[in-house]
């Protein structure tokens, strides 16, 4: 079966999908018909990204981005303490094959791993790996996992990974903290397409994804670093 990859322009994305929590939401760019992602400063650690079913792929991509950046670690329910969470992340880095591949082929780019609860039971989780490419693109991989009873080790990969890439074409930092990001083109692809990327040493052109490599977006790294600091996770 051939690999699956979908490319979408900004105009194909959701006009809006509401405010899923108090920190990230998506709205239309005023007068431009271009989705904008807004981030409000938060003291919470964002570790959770789940894509609701029943949405168009472009909507799912935007929901993924918003939830990736916003959902929080709920230690009061016994899901993760700081120490066992960090142990689980380190465990996943060494046991999930796709994660090891991403660290190898994207060794020259900032990469971060984080885990969120999937709602499928106390030990059912969603693993996320995020790579920042050329100070313009965000690549996210998600795969369902199960952790051990102590919540400190990845026991099993429960499904196939899925991948999303979205282009940030503009960042506006807010005086009181946080930022807004205007989203351009986006792509989603499956594990078979990823295998081709690995075969070609991380070259996304192998699956028809052509990235702009020489036009970094002003304040892209500042905005992303703030989101990553809030997650409070290794790497």
Range 162-174 average pLDDT = 95
Show the domain range for 66: 5-231
β-partners of residue 26 are 37
Q: What is the DSSP letter of 216?
A: P
Structure tokens of 77? 């329910």
Q: What is the pTM of this model?
A: 0.72
Euclidean distance between CA atoms 130 and 218, whole angstroms: 20
| Angle formed at CA 87 by CA 49 and CA 233, multiple of 5 degrees | 45
Show the beta-strand stretches assigned E in 148-228.
Answer: 154-157, 162-173, 179-189
Dump pLDDT digits (tens) for 184-217: 999 999 999 999 999 999 999 999 999 999 999 9
- pLDDT for residue 77 is more than 60: no
Number of domains in the chain: 1
12-63 pLDDT, tens digit per residue, is: 443 222 222 222 222 222 223 334 444 433 322 333 334 444 455 555 555 5
Q: For residues 118 and 113, give the distance between their C-alpha atoms in angstroms, rounded to a whole number.
A: 16
* pLDDT of res. 63: 53
CA distances from 17 to 29, 52, 60, 102, 179 (A): 13, 11, 10, 30, 18
Predicted confidence (pLDDT) per residue in 118-153, tens digit? 665 667 889 999 999 999 999 999 999 999 988 899
d(CA 141, CA 126): 10
């Amino acid at each position: 079966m051939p690999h699956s990859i979908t490319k979408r322009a900004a105009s194909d994305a959701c006009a809006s999908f509401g405010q899923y929590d108090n920190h990230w939401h998506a709205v239309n760019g005023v007068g431009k018909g271009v989705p904008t992602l807004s981030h409000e400063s938060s003291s919470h650690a964002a570790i959770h990204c789940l894509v609701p079913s029943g949405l168009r792929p472009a909507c799912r991509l935007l929901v993924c981005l918003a939830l990736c950046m916003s959902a929080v670690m709920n230690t009061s329910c016994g899901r993760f303490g700081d120490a066992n969470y960090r142990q689980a992340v380190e465990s996943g880095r060494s046991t999930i094959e796709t994660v090891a591949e991403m660290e190898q082929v994207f060794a020259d780019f900032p990469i971060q791993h984080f885990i969120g609860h999937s709602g499928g039971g106390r030990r059912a989780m969603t693993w996320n790996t995020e790579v920042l490419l050329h100070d313009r693109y965000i690549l996210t991989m998600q795969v369902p996992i199960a952790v051990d009873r102590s919540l400190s080790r990845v026991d099993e990969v429960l499904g196939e990974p899925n991948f999303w890439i979205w282009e940030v074409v503009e960042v506006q930092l807010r005086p009181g903290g946080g930022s807004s990001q205007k989203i351009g083109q986006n792509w989603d692809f499956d594990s078979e397409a990823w295998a081709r990327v690995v075969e070609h040493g991380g070259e996304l052109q192998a699956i028809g994804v052509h990235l702009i490599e020489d036009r970094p977006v002003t304040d892209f790294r500042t905005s992303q670093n703030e989101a990553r600091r809030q997650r409070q996770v290794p790497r």
